[in-house]
């Protein structure tokens, strides 16, 4: 940050086209060359009360822009100094810090509130996760969401060091790490507001590994799981087809036995991480009913990126199996049990999707409360309008209701085995996801 110090009078000398300085929150910006590039136009910058008189432009700036504008590198470098004797009053949150905006954090993180679900251990875990994500993952999330590229191996390695993917799959030792820890992980990741990046960040693994962990043999687990957990190999869940979305049992990808191999032919659509994947946990039909096969990428397996409404960093693909030969040893669970393996796997996925959606909606509440407080229209902040307050109230109530529901379900998950969850929670988790997702559409 430049160390030059100025008085308001000195700033006021730079008050014409080609030589224009302004003061925003005690910092002095040289807009001489930027003025003609300013998205809001040059003329507003020369108007009285802004550049012309060298007056403080803080209020007018924050009535029109978010703080993040000044943090972007191309704009932060316009700063040439600061006003002598003044310090900034508007500061971004430090990594790991909680938002002070009402409802921007769940009540369990809000000072003065209580929760039966979270211990001090969860709170410490939360603090560490938020700081870690901000320090090591946030910049990558913004970059990938923008470029559509796959997450870098460097960040993946950093995440493997803390066993990130394994943590997203749920508890192994529930006394040390339970589904509330996992809930924290999913919600913190979604706070970036980078939907495709969150999916690109090994979401394929979260949904495609659990059939191997829950139904695979020890040999299959030893062969495939370690490299995937270490971020060295990618895996996708390949269920959906153009003909079979919600109607999972209608899949048409066919597997035919030929000696010690299956021969798989068919296509899968909207496969998350598919363009990057080395393995596909794939639902196929056989003469003896449905089966889940672990298919390795070979020349007989091709993937094509699908253009989505979100970024290509999620690696969403159309997958074609063209007589792909798969060892019978790669069969997950029993032939004929493919539907129950697939449906039981949906519970954890839907709960995770709910957590991500809830967290992204809370960020929207945070942003809207900040903006409606900051933006001046008709001579007052936006939130002075009753219609805006009514919208905010509706958003907040949906988010809080969803939070209470997801925490209740999470408690049940902590106390049920995988098979009990499939038996008892499938309906409520499906309803919860439907509620959370429709809340985000309202
Ligand atoms: C360091 C100084 C400034 C920078 C880097 C800057 C940058 C920007 C950017 C990036 C936008 C696009 C919208 C957004 O991303 O928020 C914008 C819009 C705008 N800016 Fe600035 N600006 C600066 C100072 C000012 C000042 C002093 C005024 C005074 C009136 C101003 C008035 C506007 C207006 C009227 C818009 C259009 C807003 C809209 O369409 O809603 N800007 N500015």
Q: Could you report the per-residue pLDDT of 125-144, keeping only the tens digit for each?
A: 999 999 999 999 999 999 99
Residue 96 C-alpha to ligand 1 middle, in angstroms? 29
C-alpha 293/C-alpha 245 separation (Å) is 18
Per-residue pLDDT reduced to its tens digit, 210-260: 999 999 999 999 999 999 999 999 999 999 999 888 889 999 999 999 999
Q: Which residue's CA is minimally distant from atom 18 of ligand 1?
A: 40
Q: Is the CB of 18 under 6 A from ligand 1?
A: no
Per-residue pLDDT reduced to its tens digit, 348-368: 999 999 999 999 999 999 999
Pocket test for ligand 1, best of 20, 34, 40 (most atoms within 8 A of CB): 40
Residue 65 C-alpha to ligand 1 middle, in angstroms? 6
- Average the pLDDT over 306-317 and give the result: 95
Q: Is the CB of 40 under 6 A from ligand 1?
A: yes
Percent of the chain with pLDDT strictly greater than 70: 97
What is the structure's pLDDT at 370?
A: 93
Residue 83 C-alpha to ligand 1 middle, in angstroms? 21
Q: Per DSSP, what are the bridge partners of residue 320?
A: 267, 302
Predicted ipTM > 0.90: yes
Residue 264 C-alpha to ligand 1 middle, in angstroms? 57
The band of 1, judged by pLDDT with boundaries at 50, 70 and 90, is: low
Can you give the pTM of this predicted structure? 0.87
C-alpha 435/C-alpha 196 separation (Å) is 21
User: Is 272 in contact with 204 (CB distance < 8 Å)?
Assistant: yes
Residues in CB range of 305: below 8 A, 6 or more apart = 275, 312, 315, 316, 317, 318
Q: If residue 390 lies in a helix (H) or strand (E), which one and from where to where?
A: helix 386-415
Domains of the chain: 5-83 (3.10.120.10), 107-210 (1.10.540), 231-339 (2.40.110.10), 343-441 (1.20.140.10)
The band of 47, judged by pLDDT with boundaries at 50, 70 and 90, is: confident
- Average the pLDDT over 387-405 and give the result: 97
The band of 439, judged by pLDDT with boundaries at 50, 70 and 90, is: low
**Res. 52: pLDDT tops 90:** no
C-alpha 96/C-alpha 363 separation (Å) is 15
**Res. 172: pLDDT tops 90:** no
Long-range CB pairs of 299-303 (<8 Å, 24+ gap) are 300/324, 300/325, 303/271, 303/274, 303/275, 303/277
Q: Is the CB of 78 under 6 A from ligand 1?
A: yes
Pocket test for ligand 1, best of 21, 38, 57 (most atoms within 8 A of CB): 38
Q: Range with the lowest mean pLDDT among 25-34, 46-55, 213-222?
A: 46-55
DSSP state letters, 92-134: PPPTTPPP-STTSS-GGGSTT---SS--HHHHHHHHHHHHHII
The band of 174, judged by pLDDT with boundaries at 50, 70 and 90, is: confident
Q: Is the CB of 42 under 6 A from ligand 1?
A: no
Cβ neighbours, 10 Å, residue 37:
9
What is the structure's pLDDT at 80?
A: 97
Residue 22 C-alpha to ligand 1 middle, in angstroms? 12
Pocket test for ligand 1, best of 29, 63, 64 (most atoms within 8 A of CB): 64
Indicate the pairing of strand 5-6 with strand 79-83: parallel
Residue 62 C-alpha to ligand 1 middle, in angstroms? 9
Per-residue pLDDT reduced to its tens digit, 91-111: 888 878 899 999 999 999 999
Residues in CB range of 391: below 8 A, 6 or more apart = none
User: Is 315 in contact with 272 (CB distance < 8 Å)?
Assistant: yes
**Res. 72: pLDDT tops 70:** yes
What is the structure's pLDDT at 246?
A: 81
Q: Is the CB of 57 under 6 A from ligand 1?
A: yes
Q: Which residue's CA is minimally distant from atom 26 of ligand 1?
A: 61
CB contact burial 339-366 (16+ within 10 A = b; e otherwise):
bebbebbbbbbbbbbbbbbbbbbbbebb
Q: Is the CB of 138 under 6 A from ligand 1?
A: no
SS3 percent helix, strand, coil of the chain, rounded to 5, is 50, 20, 35
User: Is 439 in contact with 398 (CB distance < 8 Å)?
Assistant: yes
Residue 67 C-alpha to ligand 1 middle, in angstroms? 11
Pocket test for ligand 1, best of 26, 69, 88, 376 (most atoms within 8 A of CB): 69
What is the structure's pLDDT at 15?
A: 87
The band of 325, judged by pLDDT with boundaries at 50, 70 and 90, is: very high
User: Is 331 in contact with 283 (CB distance < 8 Å)?
Assistant: no
**Res. 54: pLDDT tops 70:** no
Residue 262's SS3 state is strand
C-alpha 258/C-alpha 271 separation (Å) is 27
Q: Per DSSP, what are the bridge partners of residue 290?
A: 285
Listed ranges 44-53, 68-77, 267-276; the one with the highest mean pLDDT: 267-276
Atom of ligand 1 nearest to the CA of 29: 1
C-alpha 318/C-alpha 306 separation (Å) is 6
Q: Per DSSP, what are the bridge partners of residue 305?
A: 317
**Res. 441: pLDDT tops 70:** no
C-alpha 210/C-alpha 332 separation (Å) is 11
What is the structure's pLDDT at 440?
A: 57
Residues in CB range of 194: below 8 A, 6 or more apart = 141, 142, 144, 145, 311
């Amino acid at each position: 940050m430049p160390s030059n110090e100025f008085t308001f009078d000195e700033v006021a000398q730079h008050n014409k086209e080609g030589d224009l300085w302004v003061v925003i929150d005690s910092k002095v910006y040289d807009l001489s060359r930027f003025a003609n590039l300013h998205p809001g136009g040059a003329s507003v910058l020369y108007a009285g009360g802004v550049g012309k008189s060298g007056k403080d432009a803080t209020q007018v700036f924050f009535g029109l822009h978010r703080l993040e504008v000044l943090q972007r590198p191309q704009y932060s470098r316009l700063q040439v100094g600061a006003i002598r004797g003044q310090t900034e009053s508007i500061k971004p949150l430090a990594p790991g810090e909680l938002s002070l905006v009402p409802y921007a954090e769940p009540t369990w993180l809000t000072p003065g509130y209580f929760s039966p679900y979270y211990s001090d251990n969860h709170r410490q875990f939360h603090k560490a996760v938020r700081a870690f994500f901000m320090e090591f993952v946030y910049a990558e999330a913004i970059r990938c969401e923008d470029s559509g590229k796959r997450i870098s191996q460097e960040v993946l390695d950093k995440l493997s060091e803390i066993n990130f993917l394994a943590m997203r799959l749920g508890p192994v030792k529930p006394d040390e790490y339970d589904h509330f820890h996992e809930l924290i992980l999913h919600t913190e990741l979604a706070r970036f507001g980078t939907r495709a990046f969150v999916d690109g960040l090994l979401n394929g693994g979260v949904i495609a590994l659990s059939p191997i962990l829950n139904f695979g043999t020890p040999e299959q687990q030893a062969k495939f799981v370690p490299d995937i957990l270490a971020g060295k190999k990618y895996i996708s869940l390949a269920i959906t087809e153009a003909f079979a979305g919600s109607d999972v049992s209608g899949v048409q990808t066919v597997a035919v036995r030929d000696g010690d191999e299956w021969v798989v032919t068919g296509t899968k659509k909207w496969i998350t991480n598919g363009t990057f994947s080395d393995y596909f946990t794939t639902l196929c039909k056989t003469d003896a009913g449905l089966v889940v096969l672990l298919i390795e990428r070979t020349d007989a397996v091709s993937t094509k990126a699908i253009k989505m409404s979100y970024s290509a960093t999620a690696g969403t693909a159309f997958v074609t199996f063209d007589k792909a030969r798969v060892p019978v040893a790669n069969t997950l669970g029993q032939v004929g049990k493919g539907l129950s393996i697939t449906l039981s796997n949906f519970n954890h996925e839907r709960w995770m999707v709910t957590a991500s959606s809830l967290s992204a909606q809370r960020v929207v509440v945070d942003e809207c409360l900040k903006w409606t407080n900051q933006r001046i229209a008709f001579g007052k902040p936006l939130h002075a309008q009753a219609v805006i307050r009514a919208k905010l109230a509706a958003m907040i109530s949906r988010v809080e209701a969803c939070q209470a529901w997801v925490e209740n379900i999470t408690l049940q998950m902590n106390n049920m085995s995988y098979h009990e969850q499939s038996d008892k929670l499938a309906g409520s988790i499906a309803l919860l996801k439907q509620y959370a997702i429709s809340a985000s559409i309202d």
